[in-house]
A and B are shown apart, each in its own frame.
Chain A
Amino acid sequence: QKEVEQDPGPLSVPEGAIVSLNCTYSNSAFQYFMWYRQYSRKGPELLMYTYSSGNKEDGRFTAQVDKSSKYISLFIRDSQPSDSATYLCAMRSYGQNFVFGPGTRLSVLP
């Protein structure tokens, strides 16, 4: 079993849809959880950061962490064509290296 699993997509949605992106993981020691957005041939851009369990909201983006289920989610409301990118989840435990999911490619169609 891979340490972090993520549906690679591609995921296509119409403009204005609510998008749900998910990652599952196996290491219960993970405490720090991140979501990155990466446009083609560019570096990943940090979107959301969460420590331990709970929800965090920033504009149209909401990150959820459920440590009991080892499951994290990123929701995008009112999705826009500019949201079309690859979304990477990342996580780590204290003193260890970051572990990344393979990324989900999202296309928001006008």
Chain B
Amino acid sequence: ETGVTQTPRHLVMGMTNKKSLKCEQHLGHNAMYWYKQSAKKPLELMFVYNFKEQTENNSVPSRFSPECPNSSHLFLHLHTLQPEDSALYLCASSQEPEKLFFGSGTQLSVL
């Protein structure tokens, strides 16, 4: 078990649903990240939070909405997603400027 916990592990949702992904890190890190990993594509950075402040929004569509209430928790709120949004969503944390630690991911399927 890593120090970064993601729930749920699997999620199936319709295009009109609203759901949220949750991430919690137990490592005392000061930065948290959301990445998207699609089949046969490199990891895509979506959002970065440093000390709870969003420092990066990598041109992500507004149907993805992040929330970072404190330095240990990160959420990704999803609404009106498209089938092409089906992917593995990974949360990660780091203590700047060093190593990045990932959670196990949420496998999302949009029908």
Chain A residues within CB distance 8 Å of chain B: 32, 34, 36, 41-46, 49, 88, 90, 92, 94-95, 97-98, 100-103
Q: How far is the CB of B101 from chain A (nearest CB, A)?
A: 6
Q: How far is the CB of B55 from chain A (nearest CB, A)?
A: 9
Chain B residues, Cβ within 8 Å of A98: 45, 100
**Among A34, A92, A101, residue most surrounded by chain B Cβ atoms (within 10 Å):** A92
Chain A residues, Cβ within 8 Å of B99: 32, 34, 46, 49
Q: Does B11 make an interface contact (CB < 8 A)?
A: no
Q: How far is the CA of A45 from the CA of B2 in the complex (A)?
A: 9
Chain B residues within CB distance 8 Å of chain A: 2, 4, 6, 41-43, 45, 48, 56, 88, 90, 96-105, 107
Chain A residues, Cβ within 8 Å of B56: 97
Chain A residues, Cβ within 8 Å of B96: 95
Instruction: Given A42-B104, A43-B102, check contact A97 B42 (CB 8 Å).
Output: no
- Docked-complex contact A43 and B104, CB < 8 angstroms: yes
Q: How far is the CB of A92 from chain B (nearest CB, A)?
A: 7
Q: How far is the CB of A100 from chain B (nearest CB, A)?
A: 5
Q: How far is the CB of A16 from chain B (nearest CB, A)?
A: 29
Beyond A32-B97, A44-B90, A88-B43, 12 additional pairs, beta carbon < 8 A: A32-B98, A41-B107, A42-B104, A42-B105, A43-B4, A43-B6, A46-B99, A46-B102, A97-B45, A98-B100, A100-B43, A102-B42
**Of all chain B residues, which has the CB nearest A4?**
B42
- Docked-complex contact B100 and A45, CB < 8 angstroms: no
